[in-house]
Amino acid sequence: MFYLRKTVKSFYYALKGLSLIIKEEQSFRIQLVVAAVVFFLMFYFPLRNYEKMVLILVVAFVLVLELINSIFERFVDLMKPRLHFYVESIKDVMAAAVLLASLAALLIGLIIFIPYFKS
């Protein structure tokens, strides 16, 4: 059975979390600005549907990975009183994952958009 109140509550909590991350994480705000530019270019140029789908997936992947990185950072910060030598390396590895995803997204974006800028 579909419960509207429960569904609305779930959306409320999701939007609350999104609002929190936008307020507190500069890197997420930067990724959102880049995503907005990509979406503008996506509708400005006559892209094929599969190109649009790839761009949407890549942008979503980077944003979700940024969210996961923020979750890990907060979780790892909870362990700081018992400062384990892996704490800092966990944060570094997650940041590296976001960096690699962002670089891959940049390359994919360039591959898709450069031919449209040339014509």
**Residue 51 marked as a ligand binder:** no
**Residue 25 marked as a ligand binder:** yes
CA distances from 86 to 82, 89, 95 (A): 11, 5, 14
Q: Which DSSP state fits 82?
A: G
**24 in catalytic set:** no
**Residue 88 marked as a ligand binder:** no
Judged by DSSP in three states, 15 sits in helix
**Residue 91 marked as a ligand binder:** yes
Q: Is the dihedral of CA 102, 104, 108, 111 positive or negative?
A: positive
**Residue 66 marked as a ligand binder:** yes
What is the spatial distance between Cα 41 and Cα 48, in angstroms, rounded to a whole number?
13
**Residue 13 marked as a ligand binder:** yes
Catalytic residue among 24, 51, 66, 88: 66
Q: Which residues are catalytic?
A: 66
Binding residues for a divalent metal cation: 25, 73
Binding residues for ATP: 13, 25, 73, 91-92
Binding residues for substrate: 66
Binding residues: 13, 25, 66, 73, 91-92
